[in-house]
Amino acid sequence: MAQNTKVKTVVKEGEDPQPIEILESAIVELAAGYKRLANTRLKRWTMINLLHAASPRVSKTDIDTILANLDNLEDLFLKKKER
């Protein structure tokens, strides 16, 4: 017997609904991408300066804060997976 399972969605005004699974995978991919970047030979201040050059309206302090929090992204926004 097939079960009727519904996908939870998050709806913002004026946008299409986004399934929770898509948001979850985006957070996981973003965190993994940052971890790969952090494990390169680039120094942190180099990353900050490159990102600031690409988007000069964002302050270096804000970029530093964002980079610091990307490392904890999964812990902040996702529950641990049950096994």
How does pLDDT run across 27-68, given as a tens digit for each residue? 899 999 999 999 999 999 999 999 999 999 999 999 999 999
The domain segmentation of the chain, as residue ranges, is: 41-76
Q: How far apart are CA 7 and CA 2, in angstroms?
A: 15
Q: What is the DSSP letter of 72?
A: T
One DSSP character per residue, 14-56 reads TS--EEHHHHHHHHHHHHHHHHHHHTSS--HHHHHHHHHHH-T
pLDDT band, residue 1 (cuts 50/70/90): very low
Q: What φ, ψ does residue 66 adopt, rounded to 5°?
A: -65, -45
